[in-house]
Structure 1
Amino acid sequence: MTRYRLDLSYDGAAFHGWAVQDGLRTVQGTLQEWITRVLRLSDPAELTVAGRTDAGVHARGQVAHVDLPSPGLAPELLRRLARVLPADVVVYRVTEAPDGFDARFSAVWRRYVFALRDDAGDPLTRGVEVRVRGPLDVPAMDEAAAALRGLHDFAAFCKRREGATTIREVLETHVVRTPTGVIEVTLRADAFCHSMVRSVVGALVAVGQGRCPPGWIADLLLLGQRSGDITVMPPHGLVLEEVGYPDDAGLADRQRQARARREREEIV
């Protein structure tokens, strides 16, 4: 088998998230169906993704891999998918993956951006921006977001899954107002747990509206359990912008690191 890396983007509005679900339209299901059909595979294609997005969440820089029965298929697969995929999902690059590559476990970080508007906004962008009551204090939000950087237990911001850890390392946070008036919340981390980004943004909005002080974010990190005081923001403002990987020599080591479960005792 030969492993192929797929770089893709999609408008998540009409998808029930990434992962296959019986009877529902998903990004993974759509891609697997078409890869299987255009290559006339005897066994269904199975994709592994860098970050499983929820229903309604978009992606500009998603990465997946698939194992196929022969080498040299990348150009043909790219060409055939371009002909058959629906308009809301695009595979813009297919390459043979280097040894040790795993779209999920080799990833070093994922970068998400959430778009907010605290004014009337542009009706043409309402599908990718979330309107909130304003005006928002963007500097206060940026100050509060700084507390998220580093290795923490993000249980307060995550929907727990049986057997899954909520410890993550956040590498970068920014909250800025662009020249067009869009407020962009950027979070880059080694990984994210379920609903983490939308919950973090909900907490930052509470700070921006003056309902909570900037220090509240740091207090939430100490809870160790889901907080009922956090509003989970709607999905359509969220975009997976980019996934980062080490150089080829570091792929296998990164896989081993990523598969190791983190515990609270690791947090300093």
Structure 2
Amino acid sequence: MSDEAAAGFVRVRFDLSYDGKDFSGWAKQRQGQRTVQGEIEDALRTVTRSAETFELTVAGRTDSGVHARGQVAHVDLPEELWAEHREKLLRRLAGRLPHDVRIWRAEEAPAGFNARFSAIWRRYAYRVTDHPGGVDPLLRGHVLWHDWELDVDAMNAAAEALLGEHDFAAYCKKREGATTIRTLQQLSLVRGDDGIITATVRADAFCHNMVRSLIGALLFVGDGHRDSDWPGKVLAARVRDSAVHVVRPHGLTLEEVGYPADELLAARNRAARNKRSLPGSLPEAGCC
């Protein structure tokens, strides 16, 4: 996973979106599992009439059932192949890709760009309704129904203790060799005129199940089952709490990925690969 494309190759940035309902997540898996990465790589190989599969690197590896509106990926293509197909690549991909995934932009990336490691934040939205009648049938694939009335003010008060740089081990599914230290930049909830509550969650990066676990804890506060200081206590314990439920994936959408100015991309790329640790603790292995 290089900071630059190899000699003779061009790094291309893709901006894309997908409905995650029928995908087993972003990343390619064993045969028979339908994934976003697999569909795009197959389509790219077909439209460029290539015998080789060009592997994508993505900003956020979304789980099964999670949607994306503002996903970013990159792929390194041979210079001659890019020159031949660049003008018609989007239209050809649109004709080959299934209707639940779309690529909106395909452009040569600036020097130092890496879709994953150059990102400085990812912004997700989780949508939930507590309407006693349930979810609008037209929105059922993107909004969670919670069958208790929710106090949004209490949830926002609870969220304040979670902001900043912390070890989110209590809210993540631990992966061998990976750190659970993250910087949570925003966690706020707003009830819209339609009654749907949208939680905006932004961080430099997320560990596995982090967003859905945070929302699960806040829902317990919002419906009165826990006090507003409980999510902060769970965080401080730094161990997985069985009371924290991982909410269903269909309410979650990756909305946007943020990158620094072009001249800062390479530096961010290198910094994001460093081991992370909290003050006074031993460094942990892993990048983000």
After TM superposition, the score normalised by the length of structure 2 is 0.91
Contact 1:4 1:74 in 2 (8 A): no
Q: Compute the RMSD of aligned alpha carbons.
A: 1.1
Deviation of 1:266 after TM superposition, in Å, equals: 6.4
**2:21 corresponds to 1:13:** yes
Q: What is the CA deviation profile of residues 163-191 of structure 1, one whole-angstrom value per residue up to 9, with x for unaligned ones?
A: 00000001111111011100111100000
Q: What is the CA deviation profile of residues 73-124 of structure 1, one whole-angstrom value per residue up to 9, with x for unaligned ones?
A: 4332212101111110000111100000000000000000000010123121
Aligned residue number for residue 85 of structure 1: 97
Is the partner of 1:194 in helix, strand or coil?
coil
Identity over aligned residues, as a percent? Answer: 54
**2:4 corresponds to 1:2:** no
Distance 1:262 1:39 in 2: 40
Is the partner of 1:222 in helix, strand or coil?
helix
Aligned residue number for residue 286 of structure 2: none
What pairs with 1:219-230 in structure 2 (closer than 5 Å)?
219-230=233-244
- What letter is aligned with 2:96? V
Distance 1:40 1:66 in 2: 16
Which range moves more in the overlay, 101-110 or 69-78?
Answer: 69-78
Aligned residue number for residue 74 of structure 1: 86
Aligned residue number for residue 150 of structure 1: 164
Distance 2:62 2:158 in 1: 25
**2:202 corresponds to 1:188:** yes
Distance 2:212 2:235 in 1: 15
Is the partner of 2:279 in helix, strand or coil?
helix
Distance 1:3 1:68 in 2: 6
Deviation of 1:42 after TM superposition, in Å, equals: 3.2
Which range moves more in the overlay, 146-155 or 99-108?
Answer: 146-155
Deviation of 1:134 after TM superposition, in Å, equals: 1.9
2:57 aligned to which of 45, 48, 68: 48
Which range moves more in the overlay, 195-204 or 73-82?
Answer: 73-82
- What letter is aligned with 2:125? V
- What letter is aligned with 1:61? G
1:128 aligned to which of 117, 142, 146: 142
Q: What is the CA deviation profile of residues 193-243 of structure 1, one whole-angstrom value per residue up to 9, with x for unaligned ones?
A: 000000000000000011111111111111122111101000000000000
Is the partner of 1:174 in helix, strand or coil?
strand
- What letter is aligned with 1:109? W
Where do 4+ consecutive residues of structure 1 move more than 6 Å? none
- What letter is aligned with 2:45? T
Deviation of 1:130 after TM superposition, in Å, equals: 0.4
2:109 aligned to which of 89, 94, 97: 97
Which range moves more in the overlay, 116-125 or 206-215?
Answer: 116-125
2:223 aligned to which of 209, 212, 220: 209
* 5+ long unaligned stretches in structure 2: 1-8, 282-288
**2:211 corresponds to 1:197:** yes
Distance 2:237 2:89 in 1: 48
After TM superposition, the score normalised by the length of structure 1 is 0.97
Aligned residue number for residue 165 of structure 1: 179
Contact 1:74 1:96 in 2 (8 A): no
Distance 2:86 2:15 in 1: 12
- What letter is aligned with 1:9? S
Deviation of 1:145 after TM superposition, in Å, equals: 1.0
Deviation of 1:41 after TM superposition, in Å, equals: 2.0
